[in-house]
Amino acid sequence: MAHASIFRNRWLPHVLILPQLVLTLAFFIWPAGQAFQQSLFVEDPFGLGAVFVGWDNFAILLEEESYLESVRVTLFFSVAVAVCSLGFGLLFAVFADRVLKGAAFYKTLIIWPYAVAPAVAGVLWLFLFNPTVGVVAHLLGEWGIEWNHTLNGNQALFLVVLAASWKQVSFNFLFFLAGLKAVPLSLVEAAAMDGAGPWRRFWTILFPLLSPVAFFLLVVNVVYAFFDTFGVIHQVTGGGPDGATNILVFKVFHDGFLGLDLGGSAAQSVVLMLIVTGLTIIQFRVIEHRVHY
Amino acid sequence: MASLGWATPGYSAVEIQWWHAMSGRLGEKVKALAADFNGSQTQFKVVPTYKGSYSETVTAGIAAFRAKRHPHILQVYEVGTATMMAGGGAVKPVHELMTQSGEPFDPEVFIPAVAGFYTTPKGEMLSLPFNSSTPVLYYNKEAFQKAGLNPDMPPATWPEVERYSEKLLQAGYTCGFSTAWISWIHLENLGAWHNVPIGTRGNGFEGFDARLTLDNPLHVKHLQQLADWQKRGIFVYGGRRNLGNAKFSSGECPMYTESSAGYAGFKANARFEFGVGQLPYWPDIKGAPQNTIIGGASLWVLSGHAKVPYQGVAQFFSYLSSPDVQADWHQTTGYLPITRAAYEKSKADGFYEILPAAEIPIKQLTLNPPTRYSKGVRFHSMIQIRGVIYSALESVLSGKQKAKSALQGAMNRANRLLSRFQKNRR
């Protein structure tokens, strides 16, 4: 063989990856296994007894209309959040990249929301859109739009998408901006001299060169929408009205943490884990082919 | 660390851990109660710890129990009652605690509608009622004046609420009335107030095989009426829990059904004079009004500790139920007095002459002796069931469903939860 291993030592490579292995086992594989084990039981909240029920907890999920509704809501929600936060992140990055004066000021301004905790962000948007005292709700009322997200499911969904995206735009902006900075200026200048307008330059040069960043962000954003938006939902709508914003991770919390239905909630988190794993695999299989490195 | 069973009096006091969910002003009051008790003797020291919201406190207590580091006393909200009862070996019933500790204890001193919520069908008290409240009608006196209504005469019945609302709308208001805690007030209390059950087996008090019966004519009619009123602006939904409180305190909705414990909040936030009236009822229902039911929380004793601290818990509970402590708690917090003696003492103190509003919730609770259907509501998985009910109510109020089919759907979903729990009970 031409490529002989650099490590002559047989055990050193294993020792070197051991910390990572231990961490993965302790913080991922083991809890995931526990969740799976728990999903096969119906357990007393106090831990005084557990009854083995096999796949019952999963079967119940499939026949429960509200769970299927929650899956649909989650898919719509995560697509909407990913599209909004990626779209605006990219838009702002392109604009900020072209700005000559006061760029630092704009950048700081756009990065700010990322420093806000999800729950705080939720409260902030809730105040703005509060049907009784919210400034935005009041303005909408003046324009003839009756705002009541406590009863109107579409408005509630719009509000949580807005609140969740607003936070994530900053993160995406940072990565896109860094990606744009890495594009050699000479390429853009050459295209400009050949008469390509800003639109053309963006789509044929900048965007393809940004695609690794965009792909990475897509994966991160989908995971964000599935898991990290919990605080926003908790603060703004509590899953309502009538399940319109009851995304999967909130349902896991509601049934497990509040309802103390540990088995059912564990089954939900196993399904959630499978969905996200599946989505990530699809992303890597399908979209990664279009990514230029 | 919590309990050294052999601690000698005079040296170090035996610590009693009390986890609660009372924040802000109420949290200060809880600390003062503990400090007062600690000062009254040297053997025990009650240590109150704030653990977050009601649900966070329950979850923290249960998680601590699993880890065997649980407190002696845990404050649990009323919807968690059935969960605690089902906890069986995890809980030390209050009547047992009192007898074992040799503390004098008479369940008869408690106001029946309060005590009934936390006792077995045999009359054994399981947890000590602590902070209890019941829904009342708040109304904006200035708005009443503007609409030509008598500001000293709140509406007594639902048809009157409708009439008053129409007048208020004519006077320029965009909303007649709104509500907090819609499931608790317009479903659970609605049933008790009209002596109509919302479930079998005495609303769940007589066994875990109980099922909900939400599709009875009263509830269908009332909910459909709310939805129709919502279209006309007579009723405006303000969101889950008490999210709609701003609708009243901002002056948008001149009438509002909320817990009696909401009084202090409105007193602080509303810039207008307001009054408190009895919860409205439907006059066409025979025997109405019956009595309302309570919300709030009670104190549960967790098992698995040494004998000595339990004696301290028993002494502390005697202290908490004493007329002076109860009357003071009632008068400073706005929660109900849980014993008859505390009620009598507050009367004698002239408290209700200064604040007549404070007596209305007690009058409602004691209007009639509680019946099988007005004692309370006790179903397992009640927290999830309330979620199901919220969804159903919202789908009716937004016009997506008719009241009857929505209530039937909610009932079926809730009963699936109940049968699942029952099936898997050891």
d(CA B400, CA B402) in angstroms, rounded, equals 7
What confidence category does residue A65 fall into, taking pLDDT thresholds of 50, 70 and 90?
Answer: confident
Report, in angstroms and rounded to the nearest whole number, the Rg of chain B calculated over CA atoms: 22
Which tokens sit at A30? 């083991």
Contact B60, B32 (CB under 8 A): no
- Stretches in chain B below the pLDDT threshold 70: 1-11, 426
pLDDT for the residue A59: 93
The CA-based dihedral angle spanning residues B61, B62, B67, B69, taken in that order and rounded to the nearest 10 degrees: 20
Contact between B240 and A238 using a beta-carbon 8 Å cutoff: yes
Give, as one character, the DSSP assignment of residue A150.
Answer: T
CB A74 within 8 A of CB A247: yes
Looking at the DSSP bridge assignments, the partners of residue B256 are: B138, B178
Residue A1's pLDDT is: 45
- Taking only the tens place, the pLDDT of each residue in A52-62 is 999 999 999 98
Segment A247-293, tens digit of pLDDT: 999 999 999 988 888 999 999 999 999 999 999 899 888 888 777 76
pLDDT at residue number B102? 92
Interface confidence, given as ipTM, is 0.83
Instruction: State both tokens at A22.
Output: 């231990």
Please give the torsion angle defined by the CA atoms of residues A22, A27, A30 and A35, in that order, rounded to the nearest 10 degrees: -170
Q: With an 8 Å Cβ cutoff, is B271 touching chain A?
A: no
Q: At what angle do helices A135-142 and A118-129 cross, to 10 degrees?
A: 30
How confident is the model at residue A122, as a pLDDT? 86
Tell me the shortest Cα–Cα distance from B20 to chain A, in angstroms.
16
Residue in A42, A46, A257 nearest the CB of B424: A42
Pairing outcome for strands B73-77 and B255-259: unpaired
Helix (H, G, I), strand (E, B) or coil at B277: strand
- pTM of the model as a whole: 0.87
Q: Which of A60, A149, A253, A258 to mutate to test the interface with B (most CBs of B within 10 A)?
A: A258
pLDDT digits (tens, 9 = 90+) for A103-152: 888 888 888 888 888 888 888 998 999 988 899 999 998 898 889 999 99
Q: Which stretches of B186-280 are DSSP H helices?
A: 190-193, 200-203, 217-232, 245-249, 263-269
Interchain proximity B65–A238, CB inside 8 Å: no
- Distance linking the first and last C-alpha atoms of chain B: 32
Give me the residue label for tokens 């009538």: A242
Looking at the partner chain, which of A51, A53, A133 has a beta carbon nearest the beta carbon of B246? A133
Residues of B in Cβ contact (< 8 Å) with A254: 384, 387
Alpha helix (H) residue ranges in B89-216: 94-101, 112-115, 141-146, 158-170, 182-183, 190-193, 200-203
**Beta carbons of A32 and A273 less than 8 angstroms apart:** yes
B48: helix, coil or strand?
strand
Residue B422 in contact with partner chain A when CB distance is under 8 A: no
B251 to chain A, any CB pair closer than 8 A? The answer is no
Query: What is the spatial distance between Cα A239 and Cα B423, in angstroms, rounded to a whole number?
Result: 28
Q: What is the pLDDT of residue A2?
A: 52
The confidence band for A198, taking pLDDT boundaries of 50, 70 and 90, is confident
Q: Measured between beta carbons, which residues in chain B are less than 8 angstroms from residue A240?
A: 239-240, 390-391, 394
Can you give the pLDDT at residue B96? Answer: 94
Q: Determine the average pLDDT of the residues in A155-180.
A: 94
Contacts of B86 in chain A (CB under 8 A): 44
Interface probe for A, chosen from B424, B425, B426 (most Cβ of A below 10 Å), is B424
Distance CA B49, CA A241 (A): 34
Query: How many angstroms away from the CA of A185 is the closest CA of chain B?
Result: 54
Give the Cα separation of B327 and B318 in Å (integer): 14
Asked if B261 and B131 touch (Cβ cutoff 8 Å), the reply is yes
Mean pLDDT of A1-19: 76
Q: Specify the pLDDT at position A257.
A: 86
Q: Taking CB atoms and an 8 Å limit, are B90 and A60 in contact across chains?
A: no
CB contact under 8 A, A258 and B55: yes
Quick: pLDDT tens for A68-89.
Answer: 999 999 999 999 999 999 999 9
Determine the pLDDT at residue A103: 81
Rounded percentage of chain B residues whose pLDDT exceeds 90: 80
B376 backbone dihedrals φ, ψ, rounded to 5°? 155, -170
**pLDDT per residue over A168-182, tens digit each?**
999 999 999 999 998
Residue pLDDT, tens place only, B344-373: 999 999 999 999 999 999 999 999 999 999
